[in-house]
Amino acid sequence: MDFIHALFLCLLNVIFMIAGIFLNSVVIISLMRSSLLRKKLCYFMILPLSCFDLAVVVISHPISILNTILWFMNLFDEGDRQFIWKVGFVIVSNLNGFSTSSLLTLSVERFVALNYPFFHRTAVTKRRLVLFLTFLLAITVGVSPLLFFDIKIFGGAVTVLFHSFCSCSCT
């Protein structure tokens, strides 16, 4: 039964990896080939989002497949397997954080554009979007050592940050 579960998990990861690589590559190529799309501010954050998503797909799915194979084959002792799993978890968590930060930046920019169009036209620029994204990426990288060393305050800190951000953006 474990063999069927491992095979199914590996097969699903391969399918999603191929689909993710193909679809994100199509978006990246389309945006790179069209100068009209690159010039518009509303399409600006789609390129970093697709690049981060492509990195997630190219790196996290093979790590997941490798961890499944290592778990099933029982090739390493428990300590080595735990270390490999932790390193893979930190890498995948950082990449997912990059993708989520890019999606959050895109969402905030679209929210401001729809609800405050005059402010958006005068205050939102590509440079400010990049600075906001860089700030979110720095938080993601800064929190990653907490993941590696299993510091339990991580969940509480993320919850407090999320709730404070949501309450600030809603007012």
Q: What is the mean pLDDT of residues 139-148?
A: 78
3-class secondary structure per residue, 119-153: HHHHHCCHHHHHHHHHHHHHHHHHHHHHHHCCCCH
- Exposed, middle or buried: residue 133 (CB in 10 Å: 0-12, 13-18, 19+)? buried
Average pLDDT in the 128-149 region? 85
Indicate whether 155 pLDDT > 70.
Answer: no
Range in 78-82, 144-148, 152-156 the model is least confident about: 152-156
| Confidence band, pLDDT 50/70/90 cuts, at residue 34 | confident
Residue 160 clears pLDDT 80, i.e. is over it: no
How many angstroms separate the CA atoms of 35 and 30, rounded? 10
Query: What pLDDT, in 10s, does the model give residues 1-14?
Result: 678 888 898 999 99
- Residues 135 and 129: their CA atoms lie apart, in Å, by 10
Q: Spell out a b/e string for 84-117, using b for 16 or more CB atoms within 10 Å of the CB, else e.
A: eeeebbbebbbbebbbebbebbbebbeeeeeeee
pLDDT score at 171: 46
CATH of the domain at 26: 1.20.1070.10
Residue 6: per-residue pLDDT: 85
- Residue 74 φ then ψ, to 5°: 55, 45
Provide the domain limits for residue 10.
2-170
The whole-number average pLDDT for the span 22-35 is 93
Average pLDDT over residues 125-134: 93
- The reported pLDDT for the residue numbered 163 is 52
The structure's pTM equals 0.79
In contact, 52 and 4? CB cutoff 8 Å: no
Indicate whether 162 pLDDT > 80.
no
Query: Using alpha carbons only, what angle is made at residue 41 by residues 36 and 44, rounded to the nearest 5 degrees?
Result: 80
Distance of CA 67 to the CA centre of its chain: 20
How do residues 53-72 score in pLDDT, each as one tens digit?
A: 999 999 989 988 888 887 77
Domain count across the chain: 1
Q: Residue 36 has which token pair?
A: 């009209």
Nearest Cα neighbor of 109 from 127, 97, 85, 90 is 127
